[in-house]
A = this chain, B = another copy of it.
């Protein structure tokens, strides 16, 4: 279908070295030659064989996208689906293919071996992980460039892209406090993930800012799942009176919303509600959800570009990039 570099060379009447140079953007090609080869490349629709490319020591332009096993349960959260879509999109736009590795405890060892040994992947993106995930540790000690989405608290030597969860959560809760809501419940994410931990931290900080005590009775443990949030909130509402709820994800906000409405309380009159993520569903709930918007496209693009940078210039040190979130005020608070 697409032929080999040799055939292109023949058509363009140059050596295969020259074709390869053009393909790889090597500056040591006369401009006229380059244009000519480029033209042949275009008309033939040539696609270099990535396997050969990789084998010969170049980059295959393949990125490994890893979902650690501890996170696999969350895989059906729309946040993930959307994140993966944007990562995939960012890769396509940069002519990078994506290899998906859903880590599973049983195959984790083998997976790492394959990632390293199979010689396919130029670098690796870890999409969210549990704190101190051994998989991340292993990856970090491998020669493969690595970028995480979500910061790694104990490892600033690993490049990561994250939203400022602490500050964002704090701002969300401030917003509720400013609107006169004193008793604010929190629906937490998993506390073994940094995003869950940080958002809870932000909640606590906001209370402190206002000189309020943390009331453990107002803390609903959650796992980023709608159902858990629904149940937890339902139970809480039976014993406590609250004026507002901060949910650490939109999925959980949805669950909380259902519980609040089921309890016969009005949103936002009786109970205000702020979520986190700004998934598409947030604008379609009734009333529409006020929430902290995660810049998912930005996270994806930045992660992919950071990784590519790391692949092409391994000498560049690790980077921690923090992206801002934005409060989107709608009808729930």
Chain A positions near chain B (C-beta within 8 angstroms)? 1-2, 45-52, 54-55, 60, 62, 65, 72, 75-76, 78, 80-82, 84-85, 88-89, 92-93, 95, 97-102, 104, 106-107, 110-111, 113-114, 116-120, 142-143, 226-227, 258, 280-281, 284
* A253 vs chain B, min Cβ distance (A): 15
Asked if A49 contacts B119 (CB within 8 A), the reply is yes
Which of B2, B65, B111, B118 is A51 in contact with, Cβ under 8 Å? B118
Contacts of A78 in B (CB 8 A): 76
Asked if A117 contacts B49 (CB within 8 A), the reply is yes
Contacts of A52 in B (CB 8 A): 51, 55, 119
Show 29 residue pairs from A and B whose CB-CB distance is below 8 angstroms, ordered by the A residue: A1-B116, A46-B117, A47-B117, A48-B118, A49-B119, A50-B51, A50-B114, A50-B118, A51-B51, A51-B52, A51-B54, A51-B60, A51-B118, A52-B55, A62-B99, A62-B120, A72-B85, A84-B100, A84-B102, A85-B102, A88-B100, A89-B104, A92-B107, A97-B120, A98-B101, A99-B99, A99-B100, A227-B281, A227-B284
Given known pairs A55-B49, A118-B97, A227-B281, the reply for A102 and B89 (CB within 8 Å) is yes
A78 and B81 CA atoms in complex are apart in Å by 9
A46 and B114 CA atoms in complex are apart in Å by 9
A82 and B119 CA atoms in complex are apart in Å by 28
Known: A62-B120, A76-B78. 17 other contacts (CB 8 A): A1-B117, A49-B117, A49-B118, A50-B118, A51-B52, A51-B119, A55-B55, A60-B120, A75-B81, A76-B81, A88-B102, A89-B102, A92-B106, A99-B99, A99-B100, A227-B284, A258-B258
